[in-house]
Chains A and B, each alone.
Chain A
């Protein structure tokens, strides 16, 4: 696929990196900063064009005429929308994805169609990250909570700890522990290495366990893996930027929220927009301030400023001062690996969270949702099975008949409103949403090919 990416910021670079790895993709990146582009060109097999992506002449130079998809990820919502409009009107690019941050636009989805503003998919990294953190607050003990099939099924990552009922027992005992719950352990990472589990796999302390369950059952399953944390009541948020503010607003009605913001003007502005959350003007790495605000009784401390180093430091400080659980927004995978599971409980990677949304549209077959896991090494995919048993390699077959590559497994199937955990004799029907876990991203291509409809023979 010929893909045009506008904006070589955090998300743009990650997207380019992930997309250009695939042989079949031709990626062109447009940005105004030649220095950034030069660096990118050294590391990736992509073409770079210097200029403003919302100008027709620049798009022309980037050979937009031949592009199949445009992903507008610049800082400005307006530029992104305009670029999509131009891509649509002048170059008839098929798929148009734009980063739209402002809630004011995102709240009017009816605006975005080919007759209005021609954007097929809007992406808001801030909204996605906020949602992600919100889920973590709702499910204490989870490292990651990812939705499939409009939230009907969730994939949860957690760290097995002392106190979990299943620790030291093989997975086959799970149904006896919690008889009325349908769930499935998808993967276990032990010491950084992945294990595709079967009934005999024993869960050990320190394992990172991925499981799939319906929303209502998540807490029950979590209690099997670790001593269940108390529900979160008191939350301290460091950073009153886009994410911090959204998070505070989303949580202020259910939890006691304190938000620390450095900039006086910004603190004042968000305090006007928040009803119940308490906005504090100060430095999140200020020990006095944290103690004064009873950091030791906080259930969760989330550091979401723009500076990841500051996030790491203030989260570490909060942890030392007694916050029960600390989360930090960290973009660099190297940093995340350094601190996660050490002093910082969960490293949140906005890049990884956003990337999944973009990837779903580049994939072959009807892939509805892609979640990038383990810093891009593994993926969880939701794909729709189309066609009949002649055209498709999955429809009309039981799961054991489907020829999946090693390391990939079908975990659950959503048929209409019904969620089914996959068994070896489950028959896949047309229009089923199939949820797969792929432990090695090199096999993703093969998995997607399974879901392509072979119209030639049909």
Chain B
């Protein structure tokens, strides 16, 4: 292991990650909440571990192989989930009234942040130190575009190996499409786009009435499709204008970032209109909104019972907000949708399985995979009618490589199996079925809020269920295969 490039890269990544402990210190001074030592200690601990890992392997010159990519990405996310919890664990000694978080809770919170899930074990957020609240949002922002993609962008020494890392981390069925010839430049371009959208989102929130701290925090979790908020009542804390802005940016962040890059480079929106996945994504969101609005309007009297001042306009906004927030797997809430009538809560949870586009910050199985499965389903119908027809699976006007279609089916099958296993584990811990179902969906799809006991948070579930949820979040973020390949014997055999 001493001469291993894996150890060297891990060390470098962890050392770089320690820098992310520094921005919260600024806020801890600004708000004078007494957390500066928490973050300073975290910084030094992570820095020390990173350097200790890197130092013995610093001369390792071997190029990264395909296999190393999976190992680095998976272990880095696990290591980050653990070390990212440092501030939560250290905060209890700082005498600032921070709740005594167990190791499980701290890792859960940090993993939920990094994987942009947005499920939380904390409550009473308003009274927590501001710097820690900021840190949670920042975790989501870093996790959104992929912290390793960020590393590929800024660490030129990753070289060709960068491609293996990039591929192991980025979501979607087709991972070879580079925007620019150099992988570093591609990663950089994606991060510039990400940063740009975040800044615009911040300005929009700010102009609509948030103060600058709220705007920073919420722009981070909106563009990352995370769903953490600094308020217990999430986006319901703000007025309709801000909620509409949030809908817009959740929609934007659910689009493939490569499209944003190309649109920006060509200075035109034509590229969006030509993309079949984008078209499917829009149709899916519009369809879902129509269903939710129609159902809620039909059930208006029932909704009025709990909330007599409800106007139709407000109801429609809630419907659209919740539909977009859940379908893109953000997980912001303006209403407790788990109490909505009829099939709506389950429809919304189902929508989160579809999620956003490949190459976006969204979770779920990604629109493009569903589109491909749909096309393939339709092909079977056609074949029944025309048995000797040669029908390629097409996306837009282009035929899709059969290998990609196969991989989509493989992914789907594994997703279902993983879902079932996690569901059973959750139920074994004593959860009722609908809670367990939604808890797995909420974590595996990187959504956040579920139904039943986990509608507002994961604070009350058992330890085993929490660790199962941590696994689910990681599996969801790394799209299962990157993580599961490590436990196959093929991977370790020569």
Interface of A is mostly: mixed
Taking CB atoms and an 8 Å cut-off, the chain B residues in 37-89 that contact chain A are 66
Cα–Cα distance between A156 and B178 once the two chains are bound (Å): 43
Is B162 among interface residues, defined by CB-CB distance under 8 A? yes
Q: What per-residue 1/0 map shows which CB atoms of A36-67 lie under 8 Å from chain B?
A: 00100111111110000000000000010000
Is A2 among interface residues, defined by CB-CB distance under 8 A? yes
Is B163 among interface residues, defined by CB-CB distance under 8 A? yes
Taking CB atoms and an 8 Å cut-off, the chain B residues in 169-189 that contact chain A are 176, 178, 180-183, 185
Q: Is A45 within 8 A of B160, CB to CB? A: yes
Is B156 among interface residues, defined by CB-CB distance under 8 A? yes
User: Closest Cβ of chain A: how far from B55's Cβ, in Å?
Assistant: 25
Instruction: Report the count of interface residues on B (CB-CB < 8 A).
Output: 15
Q: Which residues of A contact B162 (CB under 8 A)?
A: 45
User: Closest Cβ of chain B: how far from A182's Cβ, in Å?
Assistant: 42
Which residue of B156, B163, B164 is within 8 Å of A23 (Cβ)? B156
Closest to B401 in A: A34
Q: Is A47 within 8 A of B178, CB to CB? A: yes
Which residue of B66, B176, B181, B401 is within 8 Å of A45 (Cβ)? B181
Is B159 among interface residues, defined by CB-CB distance under 8 A? yes
Given contacts A23-B156, A34-B401, contact A41 B176 (CB under 8 A): yes
User: Closest Cβ of chain A: how far from B275's Cβ, in Å?
Assistant: 14
Which residue of B156, B159, B182, B401 is within 8 Å of A26 (Cβ)? B182
Cα–Cα distance between A28 and B160 once the two chains are bound (Å): 15
Q: Which residues of B contact A27 (CB under 8 A)?
A: 181
Q: Which residues of B contact A48 (CB under 8 A)?
A: 176, 178
Q: Is A26 within 8 A of B176, CB to CB? A: no
Q: Is B160 within 8 A of A47, CB to CB? A: no
Given contacts A34-B401, A38-B176, A48-B176, contact A43 B181 (CB under 8 A): no
User: Closest Cβ of chain A: how far from B68's Cβ, in Å?
Assistant: 12
Cα–Cα distance between A38 and B182 once the two chains are bound (Å): 15
Given contacts A23-B156, A34-B401, contact A45 B180 (CB under 8 A): no
Which residue of A26, A38, A41 is within 8 Å of B185 (Cβ)? A26
Closest to A67 in B: B181
User: Closest Cβ of chain B: how far from A94's Cβ, in Å?
Assistant: 17
Q: Which residues of A contact B178 (CB under 8 A)?
A: 41, 47-48
Q: Is B180 within 8 A of A26, CB to CB? A: yes
Closest to B179 in A: A47
Q: What per-residue 1/0 map shows which CB atoms of A1-40 lie under 8 Å from chain B?
A: 0100000000000000000100100111000001000100
User: Closest Cβ of chain B: how far from A227's Cβ, in Å?
Assistant: 43
Q: Is B160 within 8 A of A44, CB to CB? A: yes
Central interface residue in A23, A26, A27, A42, by most chain B CB within 10 Å = A42
Which residue of A34, A38, A47 is within 8 Å of B181 (Cβ)? A47
Cα–Cα distance between A377 and B159 once the two chains are bound (Å): 20
Cα–Cα distance between A46 and B176 once the two chains are bound (Å): 11
Q: Which residues of B contact A46 (CB under 8 A)?
A: 181
Cα–Cα distance between A191 and B68 once the two chains are bound (Å): 34
Q: Is B156 within 8 A of A47, CB to CB? A: no
Cα–Cα distance between A28 and B181 once the two chains are bound (Å): 6
Closest to B178 in A: A47
User: Closest Cβ of chain B: how far from A63's Cβ, in Å?
Assistant: 8
Q: Is B181 within 8 A of A41, CB to CB? A: no
Q: Is A42 within 8 A of B181, CB to CB? A: no
Closest to B160 in A: A45
User: Closest Cβ of chain A: how far from B399's Cβ, in Å?
Assistant: 11
Q: Is B163 within 8 A of A26, CB to CB? A: no
User: Closest Cβ of chain B: how far from A16's Cβ, in Å?
Assistant: 10
Q: Is A43 within 8 A of B180, CB to CB? A: no
Q: Which residues of B contact A20 (CB under 8 A)?
A: 181
Closest to A27 in B: B181
User: Closest Cβ of chain B: how far from A52's Cβ, in Å?
Assistant: 15
Which residue of A2, A28, A34, A41 is within 8 Å of B163 (Cβ)? A41
User: Closest Cβ of chain A: how far from B381's Cβ, in Å?
Assistant: 28
Cα–Cα distance between A27 and B178 once the two chains are bound (Å): 12
User: Closest Cβ of chain A: how far from B406's Cβ, in Å?
Assistant: 15
Central interface residue in A23, A45, A47, by most chain B CB within 10 Å = A45
Q: Which residues of A contact B181 (CB under 8 A)?
A: 2, 20, 26-28, 45-47
User: Closest Cβ of chain A: how far from B384's Cβ, in Å?
Assistant: 30
Cα–Cα distance between A46 and B182 once the two chains are bound (Å): 6
Taking CB atoms and an 8 Å cut-off, the chain B residues in 153-167 that contact chain A are 156, 159-160, 162-164
Q: Is B159 within 8 A of A47, CB to CB? A: no
User: Closest Cβ of chain A: how far from B334's Cβ, in Å?
Assistant: 42
Q: Which residues of B contact A47 (CB under 8 A)?
A: 178, 180-181
Which residue of A2, A34, A38, A45 is within 8 Å of B183 (Cβ)? A45
Cα–Cα distance between A44 and B162 once the two chains are bound (Å): 10
Cα–Cα distance between A2 and B66 once the two chains are bound (Å): 26
Cα–Cα distance between A26 and B163 once the two chains are bound (Å): 15
Cα–Cα distance between A48 and B66 once the two chains are bound (Å): 18
Q: Is B160 within 8 A of A43, CB to CB? A: yes
Closest to A46 in B: B181
Taking CB atoms and an 8 Å cut-off, the chain B residues in 394-444 that contact chain A are 401
Q: Which residues of A contact B401 (CB under 8 A)?
A: 34
Closest to A20 in B: B181
Cα–Cα distance between A306 and B159 once the two chains are bound (Å): 34
Cα–Cα distance between A48 and B159 once the two chains are bound (Å): 17
Taking CB atoms and an 8 Å cut-off, the chain A residues in 142-195 that contact chain B are none
Closest to A44 in B: B160
Q: Which residues of A contact B176 (CB under 8 A)?
A: 38, 41, 48
User: Closest Cβ of chain A: how far from B398's Cβ, in Å?
Assistant: 10
User: Closest Cβ of chain B: how far from A103's Cβ, in Å?
Assistant: 34
Taking CB atoms and an 8 Å cut-off, the chain A residues in 339-380 that contact chain B are none
Q: Which residues of A contact B163 (CB under 8 A)?
A: 41-42, 45
Taking CB atoms and an 8 Å cut-off, the chain A residues in 222-253 that contact chain B are none
User: Closest Cβ of chain A: how far from B122's Cβ, in Å?
Assistant: 42
Closest to B161 in A: A45
Q: Which residues of B contact A23 (CB under 8 A)?
A: 156
Q: Which residues of A contact B185 (CB under 8 A)?
A: 26
Closest to B184 in A: A45
Central interface residue in B162, B164, B181, by most chain A CB within 10 Å = B181
Q: Which residues of B contact A43 (CB under 8 A)?
A: 160
Cα–Cα distance between A63 and B178 once the two chains are bound (Å): 12
Q: Which residues of A contact B159 (CB under 8 A)?
A: 45
Cα–Cα distance between A34 and B177 once the two chains are bound (Å): 12
Q: Which residues of B contact A28 (CB under 8 A)?
A: 181
Given contacts A41-B176, A42-B163, A45-B181, 8 further A-B contacts (CB under 8 A): A2-B181, A26-B180, A26-B182, A28-B181, A41-B163, A41-B178, A43-B160, A47-B178
**A/B interface sample: 6 pairs, CB < 8 A:** A26-B181, A34-B401, A42-B163, A42-B164, A45-B159, A48-B176
Tell me the A residues contacting B by CB distance below 8 Å.
Answer: 2, 20, 23, 26-28, 34, 38, 41-48, 63
7 tightest A-B contacts by CB? Answer: A26-B181, A47-B181, A47-B178, A45-B160, A28-B181, A27-B181, A45-B183
